[in-house]
Structure 1
């Protein structure tokens, strides 16, 4: 079962600001979900996205 994080939890998980999560999640293609009008993120999606950001 996948766990969903709220904006504050997801921002802390990625070590970015809450503002970044709102502003940049769409721009950078982070998978996101809306439940009851609130933005949510799956931990597994955040991990996959972060791996794709690797700079070589």
Structure 2
């Protein structure tokens, strides 16, 4: 993935707010959308730099 960016982990709630989608939509579609995810115990977490890289790859020009 991207070498730069933050290693901060976002919860599904935080990422849903960041992407302006509902938590329900995010949890139902993150696999289909291809958003990289990390498991911390039984919790899903999304690394900021991975999400930024994913957004860059899916940007519409």
- TM-score between both structures, scaled by the size of structure 2: 0.82
**SS of aligned partner of 1:9:** helix
Q: Secondary structure at the match of 1:39?
A: strand
When normalised by structure 1's length, the TM-score is 0.88
RMSD of Structure 2 on Structure 1 (CA): 1.2
Within 2, Cα distance between the matches of 1:20 and 1:49? 17
Aligned partner of 2:46 in structure 1 is 41
Structure 1 segments of 4+ aligned residues over 2 angstroms from their partners: none
- Count of equivalent residues: 56
> Runs of 5+ in structure 1 lacking a partner?
none
| 1:18 is the counterpart of 2:23 | yes
